[in-house]
Amino acid sequence: MRVVTKSFLRYLLKRRSLSVLQLLGIACGVAAVVGMTLSAGSALSSFAQAVEFLRGKSTHVIERPAGPMEEKILKNLMNDPAIEAFSPVLDRQVRIESGDTVRLLGIDPFLDRVVRPELGYTPSAGDSSGRLGQFVDFLRKERSVLIENGLAAQLGVQPGSIIPTSKGDLYVLGLFPNPSGEPLLLMDIGHAQELLGLSGQVDRVDLILRDETGFRTRWSEGYRIQSHRQRKETLVAMLSAFRLNLEALSLLALFVGVFLIYNTSMFAVVSRRRDAGILRSLGTYRKEIVLAFLMEIMLFGIVGGALGGVLGYLLSRFLTGLLGNTITNLYFFLRPAAPAWSNWIVLAGSFLGCGASLLGGFLPLQELVRLDPVEALSGRAASRKAEKKTWHVALVGFCIIALGIALLLMSFVHVYVGFAGIFIFLLGIALVTGALLILIGPALKWVLYHLGGLPGKIAAGNIRRNLGRTSVAVSAFMVALALSIGLGAMIGSFRQSLLWWMNTQLRGDLYISTITDTQVPEDFYREVLAIPGLGGVDPFRNVQVTYKDTQISVTSVDASVLQRYTRFGWLRGGNENWDGVKSGAVIISESFFRRFKVKEGSTVTLEGINGPETLKVQAVFYDYTTEHGLVMMDRATYLRLYNDRTINSLGIFIDPGNPRRQELLEEVRRRARLRGLPILTRNQLQGNILTLFDSTFAVTRSMRVMAIVVAFFGISGALLTLFIERRRDFGIYRALGFSTSQIAVMTLLEGLGMGIVSFLLSTVTGTALAIMLIKVINLRSFNWTIFYYPAWQPYVLTGAVALCASIGAALYPIWKVRRTYPQMQIREE
């Protein structure tokens, strides 16, 4: 036993470069999984922490269904017997000089200290007089704020500094810690009202309730009361589609990882067949060989896995930041803390590496067990037999593909079924690769012959003759490339759909302020409306409301203006749909339609300020602004429903033929500038949306890069094994009169040939994958239709990668070939 193990280990040392590649392969696979899992976990747990921190001790929140509420209700809340404590909050954003928006909380320190004592901005017994002075300033000095430590460091401010914002200069009184890292400004509620022009209004009241039922009976009408558990669940639910995508990416990473490891183990077995045959003929037991081989696999798994754990940890630090940005862009602020290092990561990595290696090594081991020593000694398996086997495998592959497609069709049950379908489909395709390689063989021969003459022809033959190995290498490479194409094509189509959508809806000449920015004063709306000659002004308002216990968006617009100037993408009908909206009906987004199964012609019931109100659904339109569903209505309807006069932004429309066009635009700009409101042209707004879009796909793109890196190691490892194993053949070629250069060309073309085949197969698989992601996964998890737009970029990019990877992988063997004397290569070891 020890002899066998020693002989195996000696082999590993002798094939140092190969061993290193093999280790790196496993490490990359494990790193992808660990990195993705760690960062997803970290992002989600910081999210929970952030929610908890600002919640303080409050148990419930009361607010109007939409928009702010009058502060006079505080007096009634104060006398409600169910309330233990309460704290009114103004929760808004201000834009700082860098263009970023920062959350500004207006609070009453007296009331808030009971609800959020941990904020600790109120002085308590034993504080220095400096703190007390700061407290009085906080109460008395207008525009004074306390700033969260992280933001203060970022802006380089300290007590006494001035922060210029969209609402004027703010004076920094002091700093406070915020464990969630959210950039936060705290201001006295009275000063915040003055700053934001919200006299007499608060956004919500945080409550500590002792009798929820009693409270709800007294306050049900016209208010939304949410427990913090509900609120958190709502927020978590908002992330659900996003989370699902993260999980899917982790799984994808796992899939690629295991596949790569399988690939590596396969090569380990195949390259050891001969040694195993010798050992068997020398009288070693089959059991001993299997055990020795298992030990080798485990060793690789553990070491590679541990390395992968470390790499994955490093990767997760990078990914966590990306994830935080994405969630911040799409949902709410989140700056997840980088995952903490723990030795468990190494252990988990080893475990994962070991498990994946065993899983990957299972099939090759089977082969090893069944090994006939004579056959093994005769060299590689007879190609006839291998070809026969390839067809068998392909048959199984086709069945698996069919199963995958069946699962995809059943994805209406749950989106996970769809994911399973995709994985199984990819697995099936991988199994069919061998057969496809045989089919493509003649064509490949022709291509390679024209590329490199005789060496090319031999290269093509080699690929086919070593099918057992080449097919594994090609399939692994193909899956990784397909992943890259699929993700790339999906993102591309999504981007195109978004461009189309923007051109249907965002057709204004100017936009004043944006939804994430501060609001537009209503009198400014009236002022702009009064400018003669403007085609139309759309007062846009977007607000989150609760519908069937989940968050949806309600948008208020001017239906007549939009009817005239926009070309919404309707599921059915045309702009005449606006007629109904003008008379009080609503239109819903595709995501709302799919999520709540509300059809056009039916109704939706929304909780308004005067209780529930049922509204007719006029039509459904394509929309990518929110996956949670959107209800759009005319401003008149909105005001009746919610009595919320807030306006987030104005869309300014001017007839293209208007001769005073430039003059009018300049006039609107001038007036907006006077109010300090940001102005965007249509192109700027669309550009901003695209930037946002691109940044939200950062994680997906990094996954794509990872797939390519993994693919690179995969193909390099595979080719290297192949070549090292056939060093003797090189010698024979040399002896037959082939020059070193010719052998180099042959090696190169062999690598290239495999690269080409992998790429060709991956174009088909990748396109299929993109369509599945678009038509199944996106539709199921985001409830919106992305239109498939064929694009060449992902293919070209992936092709270039395939080319580089296969050439790169061939370089080392070529260098080896040039360095070694022919006789040394022929000599039997």
Partner 1 sequence: MDNTHIKNKKLLMTRTGAEREKQQSAEKAGKPITKRVRITITLTLFWFMLCGTGSVTPAEEWKQAVTPWQWVFPRDHGQHPEYRTEWWYFTGNLSDSQKRRYGYQLTFFRQAIASSPLRPHNPWSVRDVYLAHFALTDVSGKHFRHYDRSSRTGPGLAGADKDSMNVWTLNWSARMKKNGIHLEARQGDATLKLELRPRKPIVFHGEKGRSRKGPQEGQSSYYYSLTDLETTGTIKTPWSREEIRVEGTSWFDHEFGSNQLTRDQVGWDWFGLHLSDGRDLMVYFLRKSDGSIEAASSGTIIEKDGTTQHLNAADIRMDVLDRWTSPRSGAKYPSTWQLRIPAARIDITLAPLVTDQELTTTASTGITYWEGAVAGHGTSEERDVAVEGYMELTGYAGSLGGVF
Q: Where does this chain bind partner 1 (CB under 8 A)?
A: 71-72, 74-75, 78-79, 81, 84, 108, 110-111, 113-114, 123-130, 132-133, 135-137, 139-142, 188-191, 193-194, 199-200, 210
Q: Specify the residue, 209 or 502, whose C-beta has the smaller distance to partner 1.
A: 209
Residue 572 φ/ψ, nearest 5 degrees? -145, 140
Distance CA 161, CA 596 (A): 50
Q: Specify the residue, 215 or 419, whose C-beta has the smaller distance to partner 1.
A: 215
Q: How far is the CB of 114 from partner 1 (least distance, A)?
A: 7
Q: Three-class SS string for 435-487?
A: HHHHHHHHHHHHHHHHHHHHHHHHHHHHHHHCHHHHHHHHHHHHHHHHHHHHH
Instruction: Find tokens 């996956």 and name the residue.
Output: 627
Given a contact cutoff of 8 angstroms between Cβ atoms, the answer to whether 98 and 156 are in contact is no
Q: How far is the CB of 91 from partner 1 (least distance, A)?
A: 16
Distance CA 797, CA 484 (A): 9
Q: How far is the CB of 195 from partner 1 (least distance, A)?
A: 11
Q: Tokens at residue 112, please?
A: 């808030």
Q: Specify the residue, 142 or 576, whose C-beta has the smaller distance to partner 1.
A: 142
Q: How far is the CB of 81 from partner 1 (least distance, A)?
A: 7
Q: How far is the CB of 194 from partner 1 (least distance, A)?
A: 7
Given a contact cutoff of 8 angstroms between Cβ atoms, the answer to whether 427 and 785 are in contact is no
Q: How far is the CB of 83 from partner 1 (least distance, A)?
A: 8
What is the end-to-end Cα distance of the chain in Å, rounded? 22
Q: Specify the residue, 210 or 414, whose C-beta has the smaller distance to partner 1.
A: 210
Instruction: Find tokens 């300290």 and name the residue.
Output: 158
Q: Specify the residue, 73 or 298, whose C-beta has the smaller distance to partner 1.
A: 73
Distance CA 810, CA 818 (A): 12
Q: Specify the residue, 193 or 471, whose C-beta has the smaller distance to partner 1.
A: 193
Strands 611-621 and 536-547: unpaired
Q: Which helix (H) or strand (E) holds 536?
A: strand 536-547
Distance CA 326, CA 50 (A): 16
Q: Specify the residue, 190 or 453, whose C-beta has the smaller distance to partner 1.
A: 190
SS3 call for 650:
strand
Given a contact cutoff of 8 angstroms between Cβ atoms, the answer to whether 242 and 83 are in contact is no
Q: How far is the CB of 175 from partner 1 (least distance, A)?
A: 19
Q: How far is the CB of 198 from partner 1 (least distance, A)?
A: 11
- Decide: residue 494, CB within 10 A, 0-12 exposed, 13-18 middle, 19+ buried: buried
Q: Specify the residue, 132 or 732, whose C-beta has the smaller distance to partner 1.
A: 132
C-alpha dist (Å) from residue 799 to 20, 74, 167, 760: 26, 65, 51, 9
Q: Specify the residue, 111 or 606, whose C-beta has the smaller distance to partner 1.
A: 111
Q: How far is the CB of 677 from partner 1 (least distance, A)?
A: 24
Q: How far is the CB of 518 from partner 1 (least distance, A)?
A: 20
Instruction: Find tokens 């003008």 and name the residue.
Output: 582
Q: Tokens at residue 717, please?
A: 């490892």
Given a contact cutoff of 8 angstroms between Cβ atoms, the answer to whether 732 and 445 are in contact is no
Distance CA 594, CA 254 (A): 31
Q: How far is the CB of 701 from partner 1 (least distance, A)?
A: 48
Given a contact cutoff of 8 angstroms between Cβ atoms, the answer to whether 356 and 26 are in contact is yes
Q: How many CA atoms lie within 13 A of 537 on its CB side?
A: 22
Q: How far is the CB of 646 from partner 1 (least distance, A)?
A: 20
Q: Specify the residue, 88 or 324, whose C-beta has the smaller distance to partner 1.
A: 88
Q: Specify the residue, 186 or 432, whose C-beta has the smaller distance to partner 1.
A: 186
C-alpha dist (Å) from residue 787 to 188, 569, 769: 49, 12, 14
Q: How far is the CB of 104 from partner 1 (least distance, A)?
A: 15
Distance CA 422, CA 394 (A): 18
Q: 3-state DSSP: the chain helix, strand, coil percent, rounded to 5?
A: 65, 15, 20
Given a contact cutoff of 8 angstroms between Cβ atoms, the answer to whether 539 and 635 are in contact is yes
Q: Specify the residue, 198 or 537, whose C-beta has the smaller distance to partner 1.
A: 198
Identity of residue 789 = Y
Q: How far is the CB of 197 from partner 1 (least distance, A)?
A: 12
C-alpha dist (Å) from residue 217 to 196, 203, 221, 471: 33, 21, 9, 69
SS3 call for 102:
strand
Q: Specify the residue, 111 or 769, whose C-beta has the smaller distance to partner 1.
A: 111
Residue 118 DSSP label: G
Q: Specify the residue, 202 or 490, whose C-beta has the smaller distance to partner 1.
A: 202
Q: How far is the CB of 122 from partner 1 (least distance, A)?
A: 9
Residue 341 DSSP label: P
Q: How far is the CB of 78 from partner 1 (least distance, A)?
A: 5
Residue 774 DSSP label: I
Q: Specify the residue, 191 or 445, whose C-beta has the smaller distance to partner 1.
A: 191
Q: How far is the CB of 126 from partner 1 (least distance, A)?
A: 6
372-381, Cβ contacts within 8 angstroms, sequence gap of 24 or more: 373/277, 373/280, 373/281, 374/277, 374/281, 375/277, 376/273, 376/274, 376/276, 376/277, 376/278, 376/280, 377/274, 377/277, 377/278, 377/281, 379/274, 380/273, 380/466, 380/468, 381/273, 381/468
Q: Specify the residue, 142 or 221, whose C-beta has the smaller distance to partner 1.
A: 142
Distance CA 235, CA 105 (A): 19
Given a contact cutoff of 8 angstroms between Cβ atoms, the answer to whether 538 and 651 are in contact is yes
Q: How far is the CB of 123 from partner 1 (least distance, A)?
A: 7
Q: Specify the residue, 81 or 676, whose C-beta has the smaller distance to partner 1.
A: 81
Q: Specify the residue, 83 or 483, whose C-beta has the smaller distance to partner 1.
A: 83
